[in-house]
Amino acid sequence: MTDQAPAPFTGKSRVLSGVQPTGDLHLGNYLGALVKFARLQHEMETFIFVADLHALTEWTDPKKLKSNVREITAAYLATGLDPKVATIFAQSAVPEHAELAWIFNCVARLGWLDRMTQFKDKAGKHKERSSVGLYTYPVLQAADILVYKATHVPVGEDQRQHLELTRDIAQKFNHDFEAPGFFPLPEALTQGPGARIMSLRDGAVKMSKSDPSDNSRINLTDDADAISQKIRKAKTDAELLPEKLDDLAGRPEAQNLVGVYAALAGRTAQDVLTEFAGQGFGKLKPQLADLAVSVMGPIGGEMRRLLADPVEIDKILGAGAERAREVAAPTLAEVKRIVGYWAG
Ligand code: TYM
């Protein structure tokens, strides 16, 4: 079969994204990613998974991993993903991801990975003690995306560099193996005011699962009281809100709260400023707290309801994995043939 020309990419639009099962999901995950998943499922064929292979790149308690996967799945469902519309699955149930990642390890260049800022941030001063998996993390991410020939990847701003690497890998594979157009060059969907939500305690660092301060983030499972209190305590400055967006420059906390308001309300940041211009945070915060409670409050309750029935969640993940493999297996088979494997 090696003389057969590789099938070119047919141009079908397809969404793929995922979240790691490593700690509580927060407002940044919700606005940067989950909210977009629920919307996009009605616009394009959509694959959303839980990245439990990626979770192993840093120490993860084996006793907790499976329940963490169920928790992320519950968050997907509670924020509007419909398993009858989108394909929802766990990465570890689709071995094609890891197999394609090996081939991509041989396509990606060391110099490309050396530039990845997420690795530098996560490894910190202890690069030598980091797992090799943490270093090649973005290569597995490229395999996640390209094994479905996905064209659109909804993610927060922090994932943009990994998407650029994915495009580089796709392009080099297509070129080196003389398979023009085999893999699409996927686009990161990072538009909107929710793409980079910052910590509530420090507007200079992003809201993150790993921040030691729980007051730095609003968790999807926080109740109304906790949400209001965290917004009340959020760091601000002493100035009034300006009329124009440009005048928020140099005020990261103010910028963040206006951005969160806009993202939760589905409005532009400029529109929010026009409403609050000339007012202080004493006016903005209570309204932001009410808005956050009305949007986020019901999600935690729905997650708890769904998690009470893990069998149903596992059923959804099982059916999703079957559907995912129907798409991933033919891509991998074709890749094996293209690279000339004996088993290809
Ligand atoms: P993870 O679990 O770290 O983050 C999940 C999603 O949440 C977004 N995000 C944010 N968005 C806005 N503001 C924030 N403060 C914020 N913090 C996190 C992330 O950008 C992400 O979209 N590498 C991915 C997981 C992954 C993946 C993939 C994604 C593995 N393979 C393939 C897309 C396609 C990640 O960092 O997940």
Q: Is the shortest distance between the CB of 235 and ligand 1 below 6 Å?
A: no
* Model confidence pLDDT, tens digit, residues 149-162: 999 999 999 999 99
- The CB of 20 under 6 Å from ligand 1? The reply is yes
Q: How far is the CA of 178 from the centre of ligand 1 (A)?
A: 32
**Distance from Cα 190 to the centre of ligand 1, integer Å:** 11
Instruction: Give the CA distances from residue 344 to residues 105, 137, 143, 208, 335, in Å, rounded to whole numbers and listed in that order.
Output: 18, 25, 18, 42, 8
Predicted confidence band at 10 (pLDDT cuts at 50, 70, 90)? low
What spacing in Å lies between the alpha carbon of 243 and ligand 1's midpoint? 32
User: Given this model, what pLDDT does residue 9 score?
Assistant: 59
Question: Would the CB of 70 count as within 6 Å of ligand 1?
Answer: no
pLDDT of residue 150: 98
Residue 248 has pLDDT above 50, yes or no: yes
Q: Taking a C-beta distance cutoff of 8 angstroms, is the pair 196, 258 a contact?
A: no
Q: What is the pTM of this model?
A: 0.95
- Give the model's pLDDT for residue 7: 54
User: Token pair for residue 191?
Assistant: 């538009």
Phi and psi at residue 153, to the nearest 5°: -130, 100
Start and end residues for every CATH 3.40.50.620 domain found in the chain = 14-196+310-339
Q: Does domain 214-305 have CATH number 1.10.10.10?
A: no
Q: What is the rounded average pLDDT of the residues 9-35?
A: 92
Q: How far is CA 332 from CA 50, 128, 336, in A?
A: 20, 33, 6
| 51 pLDDT above the threshold of 90 | yes
- Evaluate: CB of 199 within 6 angstroms of ligand 1: no
Angle between helices 281-307 and 252-265 (to 10 degrees): 50
Among 146, 158, 208, name the best residue to mutate to test ligand 1's pocket (greatest count of ligand atoms within 8 A of Cβ): 158
Ligand 1: which atom is nearest the Cα of residue 157? 20
Own/partner contacts of 307-312, CB < 8 Å, gap of 24 or more, are: 307/70, 307/71, 307/74, 310/67, 310/70
Task: Write out the residue limits of the CATH 1.10.240.10 domain(s) in the chain.
Answer: 214-305
**Class of the CATH-defined domain 14-196+310-339:** alpha beta
Binding site membership of 17 for ligand 1 (Cβ less than 6 Å): yes
Q: Are 198 and 256 in contact (CB under 8 A)?
A: yes
User: pLDDT exceeding 90 applies to what percent of the chain?
Assistant: 94
Q: Which of 14, 19, 25, 152 to mutate to test the pocket of ligand 1 (most atoms within 8 A of CB)?
A: 19
Query: How far is 163 from 158, CA to CA, in rounded Å?
Result: 10
Q: What is the per-residue pLDDT across 299-342, written as a single tens digit (0 to 9) for each?
A: 999 999 999 999 999 999 999 999 999 999 999 999 999 999 99
- Going by C-alpha positions, the residue among 73, 162, 174, 82 that lies closest to residue 117 is 162
Q: What is the pLDDT of residue 344?
A: 86
- The arithmetic mean of pLDDT across residues 101-121, rounded, is 97
192 and 155 Cβ atoms separated by less than 8 Å: no
Question: How confident is the prediction for the chain on average, in pLDDT?
Answer: 95
Residue 1: band (very low, low, confident or very high) from pLDDT cuts 50, 70, 90: very low
